[in-house]
Amino acid sequence: MIEIIPAIDIIEGKCVRLTQGDYARSKSYGDPLEMARLFEDHGIGRLHLVDLDGAREQRLVNYRVLEKIASRTELVIDAGGGLRTDEDLRIAFASGARMVTGGSIAVKDRTLFLGWIERYGADRIILGADFRDGIIAVSGWYEDTSMELTAFISSYRAAGIEKVICTDIERDGMLEGPAVEVYEDLKRSDGGIFLIASGGISSLADIELLDEKGIEGVIVGKAIYENRISLKSLESYILKRR
């Protein structure tokens, strides 16, 4: 069964959603803890928490929000955004993250990122592979690289990474459906990868399709906040698939 992972993105302590990663196109949805509790009340056990201030400033910023959610819910949280140093990682785990997601750091400092995998284990370190037109982008999606998506993921799979969050930047926040073909290609080339699809989810049917394709996880954001997918329907889907 596919793992449903709601996303909470944080700017200045508030829950927000961006469109295609554009900070100028943000919409606030209130208190992150209230939203996290709402997810938990509907049978959801996981949360993807992104520090957007941290991603922009290249340091961990909103760790107090992480600490609050982790201490007041039972959600299994993976935290990302702004993780650039060993100290950032230490703070994230000390604040209650069970896992962390590294994207930009995996591009810019491979040695450091590999050290995290070795120190904490592949079950706690997730590779963030954010792409635009098949090419990896970093630094809050402002900076394109020359790294091709499949090659980037393969290089870290060879180094021990097990879980990858793969985000199609062009679809993120657009509610136009996920990049199913991309995820299928990745699974065909590496059946052992724990692949988490992100970007474009617009309906429960999108989640069902990814589930049918054997994708292990899906991050859902704007579709929930804009009531395109109700939490009640997610709760029913989770119960049905157990």
Asked about 9 being catalytic, the answer comes back as: yes
Please give the pLDDT value at position 154. 98
What single letter denotes the amino acid at residue 119?
A: R
**For the segment 119-176, what is each residue's pLDDT rounded down to a tens digit?**
999 999 999 999 999 999 987 566 788 999 999 999 999 999 999 999 999 998 899 9
Catalytic residue among 9, 51, 53, 172: 9
Query: What's the rounded Cα separation, in Å, for the pair 115 and 162?
Result: 15
Q: What is the CATH number of the domain that holds 84?
A: 3.20.20.70
Please give the pLDDT value at position 17. 87
pTM summary value: 0.95
Catalytic residue among 130, 168, 172, 206: 130
Domain of residue 90: give its range.
3-241
How many structural domains comprise the chain? Answer: 1
Question: Which parts of the chain have pLDDT scores under 50?
Answer: none
Asked about 41 being catalytic, the answer comes back as: no
